[in-house]
Structure 1
């Protein structure tokens, strides 16, 4: 599957929030554009310099004490837009992310289909 098709494989929730983006070069606050079960699209500040393939950590605060944390790598860069492919998350983050997708999709069967796709060999 090519990169463009892979980026569109999972439904994305448009969610306006600030996220914390951490790489080996430091931590910056970035603007979340959208989030899916498999990654995020961010708008990084102009001073941020990232590289495709660079490991990173994303932290999104939904509410006090409610955090989605995702470890992954920079999958694509287009100007200040940064696509992060998620590789792992803790159980609480997955639970919060699942609920976010469920509430924003309006399709109760969508989540189940996406989880099956995500877990398929």
Structure 2
């Protein structure tokens, strides 16, 4: 199968929450990119593909919260794929730094940021 992913994912496991239809459900963040995230499956979200949800998590050993408005893209046996629709400037700044520290490739990160900006202007 051909890799279609345009944004580098980093493995990053931490407690998170999905806010869906004004209710908040605990989950575990499994990996994240500038364009979305993979979280552990939450049974409440079965059959909710293409619905909107908010992902939020706090960076370990800090009080920094990253909050991302998402669309549920796919639901598998053990995880849920989320696509980022909107992220505030503070969250994207911290997320960029998190990815930068884990990616160890500044050029790749800057290319991905440029693609993200280009995609949001369409």
Q: Please classify the TM superposition score into its range, dividing by the shorter chain length.
A: 0.7 to 0.9
Structure-2-length-normalised TM-score? 0.87
Write the distance in 1 (CA, Å) between the matches of 2:10 and 2:115: 17
Write the distance in 1 (CA, Å) between the matches of 2:66 and 2:23: 19
Counterpart of 1:99 in structure 2 is: 97
Residue in structure 2 matching 1:83, options 81, 84, 88? 81
| Cα-to-partner distance string for 1:22-60 (whole Å, 9 max, x where unaligned) | 101622111111000000001124x32341011100101
Q: CA deviation at 1:13?
A: 1.1
Counterpart of 2:39 in structure 1 is: 42
| Runs of 4 or more above 2 Å deviation | 47-50
Counterpart of 1:53 in structure 2 is: 50
| Cα-to-partner distance string for 1:34-93 (whole Å, 9 max, x where unaligned) | 000000001124x32341011100101004320110001101111131000001111110
Contact 1:29 1:44 in 2 (8 A): no
Write the distance in 1 (CA, Å) between the matches of 2:13 and 2:53: 20
Write the distance in 1 (CA, Å) between the matches of 2:69 and 2:85: 6
Counterpart of 2:12 in structure 1 is: 15
Write the distance in 1 (CA, Å) between the matches of 2:35 and 2:75: 17
Structure-1-length-normalised TM-score? 0.87
Q: Does 1:65 align with 2:68?
A: no
